[in-house]
Structure 1
Amino acid sequence: MCKRGEKIRVVGVSRGNEYSPNHVDNDAAILRLAAEALERMGCEVTIYPEKEFVAQNIEGEFIFDMARDRATIERLKELEDGGALVVNSAYGIDNCVRQQMTELLVANEVPHPRSFIISTDEKFTPSVFPCWIKRGNSHAMVKEDVVYVECREEAEVVMADFRKRNIPVAVVNEHLVGDLVKFYGVQGTDFFYTFYPTEQSHSKFGLEAINGATRGFPFDVKQLQAYANKAAEVLNVPVYGGDCVVSATGEIRIIDFNDWPSFARCREEAGPEIAKCIYNRIIHKLEK
């Protein structure tokens, strides 16, 4: 399928194990499936662990990645600034850090819970109990980075823990009552997959149980897909996943959005669609 009579060389960058809590094998599997699909399209794919990618100063015109390490992200930014195509963009990965994500989704009117961004050096002032207090300066890496609280005293305990761990900023989201729905998508394709994580035991930290049993509130999947694709556009992450809460009236609000998740429930279907997204962007760049 590749043009110009020779294979297009594509570099893949895998996610460091420390950034895949309880999902090391799943993250490796989806990257491999995307790479295999690109190879079937006629591309030549070489995958590097993200630390090795930086240490060896790897270059490439076309790169796909699940990077999370700061040094890797900065290296990818350098390559992007020099003209490389990177999916997902390193700038997009940074946009999915909790504080930036919240600010961008709210500013672009993507349906979202009422949210506050506060310094951990300050007293906890939002009056939105129950709520979630989330690490603001990175993706969640341990269970303690995302905490459900029901009162100010519990909130202050979390803030003290964040200070102790040198986390400078917290994002506070009001707790939404309703069904928790997880979704995966690939921008520029028809692929979109939803499921109830509490029913299918798909969890990083087991926090989904707080929402309780799924009631099966009806909702418009196409509307959720439209919201998700808008978020993907705003955040610049065409390969994405996330979580939303559906109320009893069918209102949808996105509570989390992630760059290139594991696609664990649907990776066999997702891998070729991710490859298609990457391949189409490569061809578009070549034809410019």
Structure 2
Amino acid sequence: MSKPRIAGVKRNTKYSPNHIGNDGMIFNLTAENLRRMGYEVSEYTEAELILMGEQEKYLFNMAREKSTLNYLKQIENNGAIVINSGFGVENCSRAAMTRLLIENGIPHPASIIVDVTEDPTDKLKQMDADAFWIKRGDSHTIHREDVTYARNIAEAKSILQEFAFRDIPNAVINEHLVGDLVKFYGVADTGFFYWFYPFDLSLTKFGLEAVNGSAKEFPFNVEALKKACDKAGEILDVKVYGGDCVVDSNGDFKIIDFNDWPSFAPCRDEAAPYIAECISKNIPLR
């Protein structure tokens, strides 16, 4: 039986802040591994995918532009297989992700979702947190200011006003968690899971890891974290994922961010064959 053609959709560079090269490299490595497996791989930018006219049946996808996701969801409804699904990528926008993870019992910081024009004072007082993270709710992170640390309620309100000036409609506010910041990557259907302390490796996108500082390396159950992350991926409908969690002094963790198809920068050579394997497992032979 022959292997069908697979189309790869590259990420618009505006959704790769400070990671354009890294995102491009994991895409290229995935395509190379699929070709070694015998697949013909066509590559598209997000704009090219929509304009080409011909509908692809099997795609691997790093897109995040809303128009691209709408197109992918349309062809998925018509029978196309897309990894990551356009529906799943949409679920990883901040507000949707927060709701879905909390509703399904994934360990998560106390959080509220607010309109940027409302006064969150009462809700933040009820949260009883020492500090907060303010994150744009309508999209993935594009600019450094889309995720901002607030030391108190007054700063949180000021940041919401800045979001309003930038025409961002809503925001997620998380309690700030004290502990070790841990970054993770996973690939469904393969068992691949990789984690590390980003501050210690100086691997950063915007330098926000400095808020938690160097890791004290509190012991924690890696298998339990993998299980929670795999479940989160199922809930959000993304098979290639990454994110961040905070581990406290008791070894308890909470997932503070979960992303569709990150750069896998510290482990991309190791991860790429597993990503290709995951894609292959979900595409039928003909």
TM-score (norm 2): 0.96
1:139 aligns with 2:140: yes
Question: Take 1:164 and 1:86, find their aligned partners in 2: how far apart are those partners?
Answer: 36
Name the residue aligned to 1:256: 257
Question: Could you tell me which amino acid in structure 1 is paired with residue 194 of structure 2?
Answer: Y
Question: Take 2:81 and 2:56, find their aligned partners in 1: how far apart are those partners?
Answer: 9
Question: Take 1:45 and 1:28, find their aligned partners in 2: how far apart are those partners?
Answer: 15
Moved more, 190-199 or 149-158: 149-158
Match of 1:41 among 34, 37, 41: 37
Question: Take 2:116 and 2:45, find their aligned partners in 1: how far apart are those partners?
Answer: 34
CA RMSD after TM alignment: 1.0
**1:179-199 deviation digits (Å, cap 9, x = unpaired):** 000000001112100000001
Name the residue aligned to 1:278: 279
The aligned length equals 281
Whether contact under 8 Å (1:8, 1:42) holds in the other structure is: no
Question: Could you tell me which amino acid in structure 1 is paired with residue 164 of structure 2?
Answer: R
- Work out the percentage of aligned pairs sharing the same amino acid: 51
Q: CA deviation at 1:58?
A: 4.2
Question: Take 2:3 and 2:99, find their aligned partners in 1: how far apart are those partners?
Answer: 41
Question: Could you tell me which amino acid in structure 1 is paired with residue 162 of structure 2?
Answer: D
1:234 aligns with 2:235: yes
TM-score (norm 1): 0.95
Question: Take 1:109 and 1:20, find their aligned partners in 2: how far apart are those partners?
Answer: 30
1:69 aligns with 2:65: yes
Name the residue aligned to 1:166: 167
Question: Take 1:151 and 1:232, find their aligned partners in 2: how far apart are those partners?
Answer: 32
1:245 partner SS: strand
Q: CA deviation at 1:202?
A: 1.2
**Pairing 1:80-119 to 2, within 5 Å after superposition:** 80-119=76-115
In structure 1, stretches of 5+ residues that fail to align are none
Q: Post-superposition, which runs of at least 4 consecutive aligned residues in structure 1 deviate over 2 A?
A: none
Q: CA deviation at 1:238?
A: 0.6
Name the residue aligned to 1:222: 223
1:265 partner SS: helix
2:33 partner SS: helix
**1:192-217 deviation digits (Å, cap 9, x = unpaired):** 00000001111111101100121011
Whether contact under 8 Å (1:181, 1:196) holds in the other structure is: yes
1:240 partner SS: strand
Question: Could you tell me which amino acid in structure 1 is paired with residue 44 of structure 2?
Answer: Y
**1:30-70 deviation digits (Å, cap 9, x = unpaired):** 01111111111111001111111112234211100100111
Name the residue aligned to 1:154: 155
Name the residue aligned to 1:247: 248
Question: Could you tell me which amino acid in structure 1 is paired with residue 257 of structure 2?
Answer: D
Question: Take 2:185 and 2:74, find their aligned partners in 1: how far apart are those partners?
Answer: 28
